[in-house]
Structure 1
Amino acid sequence: MITASTMLATIIQVLDTTIANVALPHMRGSLGAGVDQITWVLTSYIVATAIMTLPVGYLAQRFGRRNVFLWSVGGFTITSMLCGQASSLNEMVFWRMLQGVFGASLVPLSQATLLDIFPKEKLASAMGIWSVGVMVGPILGPTLGGWLTDSYSWRWVFYINVPLGVLSMIGIYLSMPDSDTSRKRFDYWGFAYLALAVATLQLLLDRGEHVDWFESLEVQLYALMAGLGLYLFVVHSATSENKFLSPALFRDRNLVAGLLFIFVMGIVLLATMALLPPFLQQWKGYTAVGAGMLMMPRGIGTMISSLLVARFLRYFDARVVMLAGISLVTYALYYMSGFTMEVSERDIIITGLLQGLGLGLVMVPTSTLAFATLSPALRNEASGLFSLARNLGSSIGVSIVMAVLSRSLWINQQELGARIQPSPDLAAALHSADSLLAMPAAITHELSRQAAEIAYVNDFYMLMLINLLAMPLVLLLSNPDRKAAKALKRASRSAAPSSPAR
């Protein structure tokens, strides 16, 4: 029951990172917001979540994991209902910000809970269950959001959280035991500096595409403040006796390597999902629900491999399984780098399924090895950092691919347009004035279509290269189970009696 309750809380939080995206055009009319203004519905949630992920470890240690979980799920449920009832943009942004504040702890605390309640030999199974919720949620979000918006109203995108949140609260209250608490002085300055760096970095990544990146003073200020916040945090951590982050976290090799690896893999994790919906809807003519259904095999593949990978880890080194997963994702992206506008549904389904299978093989061993050698007392704090690294990587990945896509579209249109050479016989072949008038529009559409095809292919190829660069990082992780098995084998050999000489 505790597993189901914590995972339900995880799913509703992760689902909300993408479920509202497809409802934004409908919200604009109801809330009276412009195109740029309505994006703050997403930005406020993302920034608040990033900031409040930082103190999750302290809050769980100070007030108890069960209490923090109950308050977080309760607050998330109530603010979801208030988001659905918002009548203005200001109200919506305010409630979405609070929704992010309460929801920030749900994913890291669910991971820490599963790590604690499962025995060591079943940690891979626990991380498999956790990965299903974390990775399938963003894939289901657009499909579910599109269906709710089309069938009912955009407000149901938020109301859907209420019954699920209530069920999660009841399950957590009945099944989760109280945890030990300890009084530790909170490092307010350390939190403030790191929160400034993380918040302004998220704002830079989220707003950059809308304001022409570093051509805008707004983005330049965000970059300056992010650098300043990080510098002040490093100096404060080096000189202060009271550290915001426990130094023991960074003495664990597997955790540090796991954070670095999940950050890089986070770049690929959501970037493909950010590219496919506009490709399918704008250039292939699918509806939001249709595009979501076509992307569903990726979620199915993730679910299958996440639930089966624990069995693979009994027979193979976790790092070998991770390399196999990266290879699958790389092959899928290589396949996608050959997409054209005439790509079939079969190819989209196959590449999505391969990506899902590969990501499941990567994420579960990563989560297992990252926490394999860490003290249980540090799990709350470490799980917050793990979620933050994954989310920052995803935000950076989405921003990179969308920026490259936008720039490539513009460059490709200019270069293709410069190469147009109409045939001298073309005008003679068009007999009517209407045909002549329709020529510029038809040419412009075909130019945009071919420019988009090249831009998307370049993005998929770039993601493939990033994925390949992640492979050497796997070697930074150590497998303590394999080391223990080798040590036991050596000990048994040395203890064996030697054969008598003849």
Structure 2
Amino acid sequence: MSTPETHSEVPHRGLITVSIMLGTIMQVLDTTIANVALPSMTGDLGASQDTINWVLTSYIVAAAIMTPVTGWLADRLGRKQLFLTSVVGFVVMSMLCGIAWSLESMVAFRLMQGVFGAAIVPLSQTFLLDINPRERHGQAMAIWGAGIMVGPIIGPTLGGWLTESFNWRWVFFINLPVGIIAFLGSAAYLPNIAKRVRSFDFFGFAMLSLGVGALQLMLDRGADADWFSSVEIWIELGLAITGFWVFIVHMLTAEHPFIDPKIFLDRNFATGLVFIFVIGVILLASLALLPPMLSTIFGYPTITTGLVMAPRGVGTMISMLIVGRIVRIVDARILVVVGLLLTAQSLYTMSGFSPQMDSWLIISSGVVQGLGLGLVFVPLSTVAFATLEARYRTDATALFSLVRNIGSSIGISIVSVLLTRNMQINHAELGAYINPFNPNLWEASPAAVLGDPNALSQLNGMVNIQALMISYVNDFKLMMGVTLLALPLIFLLRKPKHAPSGGGGAPAAHMD
């Protein structure tokens, strides 16, 4: 398969970048923008609090299953054709979601939206790597990373504003103008890449789909089904283990496997997958924790919550703009270490949150975390593909996106479970001090000791807030530990060698 060899001859590079990034941001936004609209959807679609979550689950599972097949579809249909089809299908399904008349129709349209949207992110990364020379890959990944990481941050804020100002249907209608611009720009300027005849390993795809789909279902349904006390979760866990195990054995033994195992022999790429898994855990897990914390403990409305969290995205943008320019002259591994340390520092600060603080500590820690994640994401995205053969690039970007999404799902599930269970434990421990024999209670609230219902209710509310705050703090400490544990992986990354000037003798490991 041919790719643009002479990068300087790629016309309209700037317009191509804008077009594909609009499509990327549109798709990434939809992973979080609909979350805040779920309560409004419940009544209109005749759903319950339990069943409305299928609006999110169907999208996540469909996108996860279809992401790995991006490489084969791109070879078979052509990258440009697949990208255009994905954008059109995503926009059409978004419009159908906006006019959905029942929960069943919404879930069906969201599922198809996930199917069409799955290829957009990995293809956009592939295009940016293809149309830029290797010395500009850092800047290209900075642009791509900004859309990937800032999208989920602004999603809840934009979704809340659209829901409050108009109604929940505009959460989906907003994709129409963005999608039209992305399609027209991509149709006009994206280069045509030659197709490649490639056999389709249906059994390998089926086993990987079984593993990924069952895992995503388990992670998304776990909280509602009470995790491993539910037969459903055990079945999904068994299917996930079976699917992944059979897929790995088949991949290593088949003549033409769905994913070529040689792709994992590239040390930088394999290590990059582990790193991006950790980034997925930290990025979306913290995003999942903060909005309910700000709403429940601090009483912030949706718009205020979005404004308080917005500086996190600003920090990410700043670090990506900077690192995109210096990644060529500074060892990418040093940037990753600095980014991880900044992220750990922000989580350490967040572990000192209390119900009595103002918003400044939330804003400042968010900026530091944004700076840190940006410093990790760009050099990591650059180094992970620096030594990988270009023929594996589309499969590799699909795996990169899949592992990041799985990390996000696992991270959100873990912190949510720990939050709920620690809340119960903390409430029991704090409640043990509420007794008539505690002299501090006599001093703080004599009425509560004497059994006044209003005083006891206020006291229980205070215990709930403190127990919940301690649970959030414990989650932040856990994420800090995960971040620090990822540091030793830096020794597995190799510094990519720069191609000689003039293009002669460029190593095949990183050049087409």
Deviations 1:120-167 (A, max 9, x none): 110000000000000000001000000000000000000000111011
- 1:409 partner amino acid: M
**Partner secondary structure for residue 355 of structure 2:** coil
Q: 2:458 aligns with which of 416, 433, 442?
A: 442
Q: TM-score, normalised by structure 1?
A: 0.94
1:289 matches 2:320: no
Do 2:157 and 2:302's aligned partners in 1 also have CA atoms closer than 8 Å? yes
1:316 matches 2:330: yes
Alpha-carbon distance in structure 2 between the residues aligned to 1:392 and 1:71? 25
Do 1:312 and 1:321's aligned partners in 2 also have CA atoms closer than 8 Å? no
Q: CA deviation at 1:20?
A: 0.2
- 2:384 partner amino acid: A
Do 1:265 and 1:470's aligned partners in 2 also have CA atoms closer than 8 Å? no
**Partner secondary structure for residue 39 of structure 1:** helix
Do 1:337 and 1:458's aligned partners in 2 also have CA atoms closer than 8 Å? yes
Give the structure 2 partner of residue 236 of structure 1: 250
- Which consecutive residues of structure 1, in runs of 5 or more, have no partner in the other structure? 486-502
Q: CA deviation at 1:247?
A: 2.5
1:475 matches 2:491: yes
Q: CA deviation at 1:375?
A: 1.4
Q: CA deviation at 1:429?
A: 8.1
Alpha-carbon distance in structure 2 between the residues aligned to 1:435 and 1:141? 46
- 1:418 partner amino acid: A
Give the structure 1 partner of residue 345 of structure 2: 331
- 2:476 partner amino acid: F
Change (3 A) 1:59 1:411: same
- 1:440 partner amino acid: L
Alpha-carbon distance in structure 2 between the residues aligned to 1:231 and 1:326? 32
Matches within 5 A, 1:1-150: 1-150=15-164
Alpha-carbon distance in structure 1 between the residues aligned to 2:480 and 2:443? 44
Alpha-carbon distance in structure 1 between the residues aligned to 2:34 and 2:178? 17
**Partner secondary structure for residue 113 of structure 1:** helix
Do 1:427 and 1:436's aligned partners in 2 also have CA atoms closer than 8 Å? no
Do 1:31 and 1:87's aligned partners in 2 also have CA atoms closer than 8 Å? yes
Alpha-carbon distance in structure 2 between the residues aligned to 1:107 and 1:399? 23
Change (3 A) 1:418 1:9: same
- 1:194 partner amino acid: L
- Which consecutive residues of structure 2, in runs of 5 or more, have no partner in the other structure? 1-14, 502-512
1:255 matches 2:269: yes
- 2:339 partner amino acid: G
Q: 2:472 aligns with which of 446, 451, 456?
A: 456
Q: CA deviation at 1:446?
A: 1.1
Change (3 A) 1:429 1:148: closer
Alpha-carbon distance in structure 2 between the residues aligned to 1:428 and 1:24? 41
Give the structure 1 partner of residue 434 of structure 2: 420
**Partner secondary structure for residue 452 of structure 2:** helix
Give the structure 2 partner of residue 493 of structure 1: none
Give the structure 1 partner of residue 4 of structure 2: none
Alpha-carbon distance in structure 2 between the residues aligned to 1:479 and 1:424? 62
Deviations 1:365-386 (A, max 9, x none): 0000000011112111100000
**Partner secondary structure for residue 225 of structure 2:** coil
- 1:466 partner amino acid: V
Q: CA deviation at 1:237?
A: 1.8
**Partner secondary structure for residue 193 of structure 2:** coil
**Partner secondary structure for residue 256 of structure 2:** coil
Deviations 1:241-263 (A, max 9, x none): 12100233112111111111111
Give the structure 1 partner of residue 12 of structure 2: none
Do 2:210 and 2:240's aligned partners in 1 also have CA atoms closer than 8 Å? yes
Alpha-carbon distance in structure 2 between the residues aligned to 1:53 and 1:428? 57
1:350 matches 2:364: yes
Matches within 5 A, 1:329-408: 329-408=343-422
Do 1:336 and 1:351's aligned partners in 2 also have CA atoms closer than 8 Å? yes
Alpha-carbon distance in structure 1 between the residues aligned to 2:196 and 2:218? 37
Do 2:282 and 2:408's aligned partners in 1 also have CA atoms closer than 8 Å? yes
Do 2:157 and 2:303's aligned partners in 1 also have CA atoms closer than 8 Å? yes
Q: CA deviation at 1:265?
A: 2.2
Give the structure 1 partner of residue 239 of structure 2: 225
Alpha-carbon distance in structure 2 between the residues aligned to 1:47 and 1:262? 19
Query: Quick check: 379-388 or 414-423, which moved more?
Result: 414-423
Change (3 A) 1:125 1:221: same
Alpha-carbon distance in structure 1 between the residues aligned to 2:353 and 2:444? 36
Do 2:445 and 2:455's aligned partners in 1 also have CA atoms closer than 8 Å? no
Query: Quick check: 179-188 or 137-146, which moved more?
Result: 179-188
Q: Which 4+ residue blocks in structure 1 deviate beyond 4 angstroms?
A: 423-432, 482-485
**Partner secondary structure for residue 481 of structure 1:** coil
Give the structure 1 partner of residue 197 of structure 2: 183
Give the structure 1 partner of residue 282 of structure 2: 268
Alpha-carbon distance in structure 2 between the residues aligned to 1:122 and 1:428? 63
- 1:470 partner amino acid: A
Q: TM-score, normalised by structure 2?
A: 0.92
Give the RMSD, CA atoms, in angstroms.
1.9
Deviations 1:262-308 (A, max 9, x none): 11222112111111001000110011121111000110110111111
Q: CA deviation at 1:430?
A: 6.4
Do 1:109 and 1:380's aligned partners in 2 also have CA atoms closer than 8 Å? yes
Alpha-carbon distance in structure 2 between the residues aligned to 1:242 and 1:392? 26
Give the structure 2 partner of residue 170 of structure 1: 184
Alpha-carbon distance in structure 1 between the residues aligned to 2:331 and 2:414? 33
Change (3 A) 1:429 1:124: closer
Alpha-carbon distance in structure 1 between the residues aligned to 2:291 and 2:383? 33
**Partner secondary structure for residue 195 of structure 1:** helix
Q: CA deviation at 1:238?
A: 2.8
Q: CA deviation at 1:313?
A: 1.9
Do 1:196 and 1:225's aligned partners in 2 also have CA atoms closer than 8 Å? yes
Give the structure 2 partner of residue 465 of structure 1: 481
* Structure with greater Cα Rg: 1
1:153 matches 2:155: no
Alpha-carbon distance in structure 1 between the residues aligned to 2:276 and 2:249? 26
Do 1:112 and 1:379's aligned partners in 2 also have CA atoms closer than 8 Å? yes
Deviations 1:82-105 (A, max 9, x none): 000001000000000000000000
